[in-house]
Chains A and B, each alone.
Chain A
Amino acid sequence: MSGRASGVGVGLIRKIRSAGRVAEPAGDRGERLPQAAGLAGSVQVRHVDAGSCNGCEIEIGQAFSPVYDIERYGVRLVASPRHADVLTVTGPVTVNMASALRKAYEAMPEPRLVVAIGDCAKDCGVFAGGHGVAGPVSDVVPVDAQVPGCPPEPDAIVAALRGLTGR
């Protein structure tokens, strides 16, 4: 039992050594948003899926993974809109999610920013005209920045959020 347990520990040390640093070198920073100047290098993000196919969620997950490692630029995901400075929204806003999105936005303390991620958030994408679709994100809450793409690459999401932290 103890032999196996120590084996697992040593194996993990070996794995940590052989993996080394997996974070890729930084790409270009996105355009600096003047509204985000007061955040001074610290951005707490709350994410709302307003009706996305989850393609954008996978890419956002990658942006926070060890490879793209957006946390090094001062971006952190938080558990509550009350803690957040930035709301990231994906997908066309469905009828059932419109009021939830509005409530999440209103729960955030001022100053608050919204980043619409993906083509659906921008103009409903392939879902435009669907019977359950209320409209793009900008119809429900004011949008400060957009990341185009279906889905956008993690690099594009990292660049847009770095435009908010300014780092």
Chain B
Amino acid sequence: MTPWLVAVAQAALLALAAPLVVGVTRAVPARLAGRAGGRIAQPWRDLCKQLRKQPTSPADASMFFVAAPAVMMATSLIVAATGPFIAATSLFGGADLIVVVGLLLLGTVALALAGLDTGTAFGGMGASRAMVIAALVEPTLLLAVFALSFRVGSTDLSRIVAAGATEPARVFTPASLLAAAALAIATLAETGRIPVDNPATHLELTMVHEAMVLEYSGRDLALVEWAAALRLSILLGLLANLFAPWGVATSLDPMWLAVGAAVFIGKVCGLAALLSAGEVWTAKLRLFRVPELLAGSFFLGLLAVLASAILA
């Protein structure tokens, strides 16, 4: 199979599976609360219906509002296509760590600008909160993966994952434990989960992601929600493959790719179930305490880099 075909298949698989992963994160806490809960495919039903509805636009909105859903979806799809999710081969050389973090940040900034663009109080409030969180999360994402890139000598995510898959002994080091903790906290913050943001609440005073998308409707809302789901799958997939890289295809043999896809879906669904079950035991942090948590995760990332530089 050609690398291009693999990239397209990878993006399609992630885009199709992402709403189901969101369905898992809703079903698990519902079961624990004694509910019957919605079906796992319910987010797909919601998306299909929203895609058929006409979008509306607030009176004061400009091109930023119109462009943000497309920018978010496009950046997420590029990361989904080139990242080391099913296959860790550096053949298309696009999965550089700095490029991936930059693309994710581009989507975040586009949505924050759209929130400001609506001219509503909640849009601006959500945008300023999202930027505070993004400014603290992106350095942690970079540092945590830098710690892993030391042992490979490259910031190419595919090469880091491939090295982990072929030499499992090098995955369990103090540096990767610290980096895993830092990346896990950064993932929670970047995807708007408890304790940083609560995806289940509609309380205006606490919401971050939802405050920015309040004015979207129909097709635009579907794109924003789909892209947000895709980012959750991307970050969970990176977390899984960087610290448990088993099952990732290291060649373009179709059989290994199929195994890689199945293992990847299993890993992401498992992580999503773990994440949402953990949310049952935790409360959301006060907004002013979120920087403390994120500074802590940055410090863990810094320690991981130091540990890998000294011990390697």
Residues of A that sit less than 8 Å from B by CB: 9, 12, 16, 19-23, 38-42, 44, 66, 69, 71-72, 74, 76-80, 82-83, 85, 107-111
Assess A109 versus B55: contact at CB under 8 Å? Given A42-B46, A82-B214.
yes
Assess A69 versus B37: contact at CB under 8 Å? Given A40-B48, A79-B204, A79-B210.
yes
Chain-A contact segment, one of B80-88, B215-223, B253-261: B215-223
Q: Can you report 14 residue pairs joining A to B where beta carbons are below 8 Å apart? A: A22-B34, A39-B49, A42-B45, A42-B48, A69-B37, A74-B39, A76-B38, A79-B210, A82-B217, A83-B214, A83-B216, A83-B217, A108-B217, A110-B53
B207: A residues at CB distance < 8 A: 79
B221: A residues at CB distance < 8 A: 82-83
What is the interface size of chain B, counting residues whose CB is below 8 A from a CB of the partner? 31
Assess A79 versus B217: contact at CB under 8 Å? Given A39-B49, A72-B36.
no
The number of A-B residue pairs with CB atoms under 8 Å apart is 82
A124 to B217, CA, bound (A): 32
**B33: which of A42, A66, A79 is its contact (CB, 8 Å)?**
A66
Do the beta carbons of A79 and B36 come within 8 Å of each other? no
Assess A20 versus B34: contact at CB under 8 Å? Given A79-B214, A110-B54.
yes
Which residue of chain A lies nearest to B42 when distances are taken between CB atoms in the complex? A74
Assess A82 versus B49: contact at CB under 8 Å? Given A12-B280, A16-B32, A23-B36.
no
Q: Which of B5-55 contact A (CB under 8 A)?
A: 30, 32-39, 42, 45-46, 48-49, 52-55
A108 to B217, CA, bound (A): 8
A79 to B120, CA, bound (A): 14
Contact pattern, B 54-77, Cβ under 8 Å of A = 1, otherwise 0: 111000000000000000000000
Residues of B that sit less than 8 Å from A by CB: 30, 32-39, 42, 45-46, 48-49, 52-56, 202, 204, 207, 210, 214-218, 221, 280-281
Do the beta carbons of B38 and A111 come within 8 Å of each other? no
Which residue of chain B lies nearest to A75 when distances are taken between CB atoms in the complex? B38
Do the beta carbons of A72 and B215 come within 8 Å of each other? no
Which residue of chain B lies nearest to A79 when distances are taken between CB atoms in the complex? B202
Do the beta carbons of A71 and B35 come within 8 Å of each other? yes
User: A3 to chain B: closest CB distance in Å?
Assistant: 16
User: A17 to chain B: closest CB distance in Å?
Assistant: 10
A9: B residues at CB distance < 8 A: 281
A133 to B54, CA, bound (A): 34
A74: B residues at CB distance < 8 A: 38-39, 42, 45
Which residue of chain A lies nearest to B201 when distances are taken between CB atoms in the complex? A79
Which residue of chain A lies nearest to B33 when distances are taken between CB atoms in the complex? A66
A77: B residues at CB distance < 8 A: 202
Do the beta carbons of B214 and A80 come within 8 Å of each other? yes
A21: B residues at CB distance < 8 A: 34-36
B202: A residues at CB distance < 8 A: 77-79
A16: B residues at CB distance < 8 A: 32, 34, 280
Assess A12 versus B281: contact at CB under 8 Å? Given A40-B45, A66-B34, A79-B204.
yes
Which residue of chain A lies nearest to B53 when distances are taken between CB atoms in the complex? A109
User: B28 to chain A: closest CB distance in Å?
Assistant: 11
